[in-house]
Structure 1
Amino acid sequence: MTDNVVFIHGLWIHSEAWQPWRELFGEQGYRTYAPGWPGDRDSVADTRLHADGRTVGVEEITDSYAAFIAGLDSPPIVVGHSFGGLIAQKLLSRGLLRAAVAFSPAPIKGIRIIPPSLLRSSFPVLSRPGNKRNVVSLTEKQFAYSFGNALPAAESTELYERIAIPSPGRPLFEASSANFTRNSPTEVDTTRDDRGPLLLVSAGKDHTVPASVVAAAFRLYSTSKARTDIVTYADRGHSAPFDHGWRELADDTLAWLGRQGR
């Protein structure tokens, strides 16, 4: 049976960014999909033009992917980045996936470490309470700090122009208040023993989701008997799945899936 693979992007990145991954995974025999978040348009340009009103939160985004997955012929593998990595974990904990890979996943409830660079990356949204109901765009300078800090300036600019989109602010507010919120949308059942395998991936130079945050997530899974692995790319930033070094991460992901029999 051919495995389905669903790619999920995070804040400020369009699903088009996964196209090289889709081509590579397709060559390996997988059926691939990269649906956008609710309200995303088919292209970067169209999404930038029609961004108003996309005030969805983590639960609505997760439910939209759960509905998409329900239409597939078998439970898929999900590969997610940033908030897409958080959503991948939520889908896995619901028992909907064969396996999940989460690159620099946004913090799930229970993570208490808050590195300064994470706060600075979140500041463009969290500094204005009204952004909880709004769509927010990053400036090129903000993108360079949050995504492109491990890249040459020219490559960061090229990524910003090619794949950056406005995104709803609500998910960041939900993540920032999770530990003070009953039934937080970012809550994940990390204790399940009967879920599929999970790979958490961190980047050593990541400003947006520092490696210490991913390590804290890994510790939350310590009581589960299900397979949970973690790997760190010491010299990479938050842009790692989409910049010039994406192929290393993709090849390693394929190898890890192969070791899980996927």
Structure 2
Amino acid sequence: MKAVQSKTIVFVTGAFVTHLGWKPWQDYFESKGYTTYAPSWTNKEGTAKEVRDRKPNDLALARTHLIDVVNNYAKFIESLPEKPIVIGHSLGGLMTQILLNRGLAAAAVVVHSVPPLGVIPYEFSFLKAGWRSLGLFTSLDKTYMMSFETWQYAFTNGMSLQEQKDSYEANTIPESKRAARGGLSLTAKIDFAKPHAPLLFVAGTKDNIIPSTINKRNFNRYKDKNSVTDYKEFAENNHYVLGLHNWQQTAGYIFDWIQKQ
């Protein structure tokens, strides 16, 4: 008998981008018989353009903390008829680890995940790509909007200029600096020794903002020998993994992994 019986998937979105980027993934997993959900973050409802049009004076979003977003996902999950499989990308991967640590996931997949507290992201490319979102020496009541140049480096390195422009227009939205800083707070603390449902780390060798070395250190911190914790690295994937031309290869690997649990 398979350990993972759930036929429900909740996708958890990362920072800087719309939750609507999960739509192709939802279609893929729904074609495999799953019911899927990709809720927006707190105060990020609407299309990418609609959310962008509220910047920089969107006070509700600016004052959103990471714990608010985590608790909103937890509340949504608890409203479902069964415990879901949770799949999160980037900061959504960190939130997925937190939700797993709370016992809210039947299985979890973290795709290019921001690491929890205690896994130090010292890589230069991580610092170069992400430090602006913390809003140092700027008002926390103003949202942060990733520039196109940062998008090129942090998300879409190696892609054509037109692909970079199109993906920037389709996906980018303002971000709460408070939420970005939440990754450095006690909200991001988890118990690595606690038994957990099956957990898969997916990393990309070409990712600048969350290098695969960070994912591997994160993976290695999990200590419970009786819990399934797996790691997979794709050599061609940058941080825009969800929308790359080969995204179905990544999604297919995740699907196959779920079936084996």
Partner amino acid, structure 2, of 1:254: F
Question: Is 2:18 the counterpart of 1:10?
Answer: no
Residue 112 of structure 2 contacts residue 212 of structure 2 at CA under 8 Å; is this kept in 1?
A: yes
1:32 aligns with 2:32: no
Cα distance change on mapping 1:226 and 1:133 into 2, 3 Å: farther
Contact 2:135 2:144 in 1 (8 A): no
| CA gap 1:155/1:131 in 2 versus in 1, 3 angstroms | farther
| Structure 1 residue ranges, 4+ long, deviating more than 4 angstroms after superposition | none
2:144 corresponds in structure 1 to 136
Give 1:152's match in structure 2, choosing from 155, 160, 166: 160
Contact 2:205-2:211 within 8 A present in 1 as well = yes
1:241 to partner: Cα distance = 1.5
Contact kept in structure 1, 2:199 and 2:229, CA below 8 Å = yes
In structure 1, the partner of 2:82 is 74
1:163 CA drift (Å): 1.1
How far the C-alpha of 1:42 sits from its partner, in A, is: 2.4
1:98-122 per-position Cα deviation (integer Å, ceiling 9, x unaligned): 0110001112111124100000011
Contact 1:2 1:31 in 2 (8 A): no
1-side partners of 2:73 and 2:240: how far apart? 23
1:163 to 165, 171, 191: 171
Return the offset for 1:133: 4.2
The aligned residue for residue 83 of structure 1 is 91
Measured against aligned partners, the alpha-carbon deviations of 1:207-246 in whole angstroms (never above 9, x if no partner) come to: 1111111011011103442100011111211001222221
TM-score, normalised by the number of residues in structure 2: 0.92
Cα contact 1:131–1:170 (8 A) shared by 2: no
Give the equivalent residue in structure 2 for 1:181. none
CA shift, 1:153, in A, is 2.0
Q: Which moved more, 1:60-69 or 1:36-45?
A: 36-45
Give me the TM-score of the superposition, normalised by structure 1.
0.92
C-alpha distance in 1 between matches for 2:257 and 2:224 = 22
Change (3 A) 1:133 1:228: farther
Counterpart AA for 2:119: I
Aligned match for 1:47, one of 46, 51, 76: 51
Q: Which moved more, 1:146-155 or 1:102-111?
A: 146-155
SS at the partner of 1:68?
helix
Q: Distance in 1 between matches of 2:201 and 2:52?
A: 30
CA offset at residue 85 of structure 1? Answer: 0.4
Aligned AA (2:255): L
Matches of 2:258 and 2:247 in 1, distance apart? Answer: 17
Deviates more, 1:120-129 or 1:84-93: 120-129
Quickly say closer, same or farther: Cα 1:90–1:155, change in 2 above 3 A. Answer: same
% same residue? 28
Which moves more between the two structures, 164-173 or 127-136? 127-136
Structure 1: where are the runs of 5+ without partners?
179-183
From the superposition, tell whether residues 126 and 167 of structure 1 become closer, same or farther in structure 2 (CA, over 3 Å).
closer
Does the 8 Å CA contact 2:67/2:182 hold for their aligned counterparts? no
Looking at structure 2, the residues matched to 35 and 161 of structure 1 have their Cα atoms a distance apart, in angstroms, of 20
Verify the 8 A CA contact 1:86 1:106 in the aligned structure 2.
yes
Task: Letter of the 1:151 partner, please give it.
Answer: M
1:229 partner SS: strand
Give the conservation status (yes or no) of the 8 Å contact 2:134–2:178.
no
Equivalent of 2:106, from 98, 108, 119?
98
Q: Post-superposition shift, 1:165?
A: 0.9
Alignment match, 2:219: 218
Deviations 1:140-198 (A, max 9, x none): 111111100132222111110111111111233232x44xxxxx1111122112x2100
Aligned residues: 253
Shift of 1:59: 1.3
The one-letter code of the counterpart of 1:120 is K
C-alpha separation between the residues in 2 aligned to 1:104 and 1:26?
Answer: 23
Give the aligned partner of residue 229 of structure 1.
230
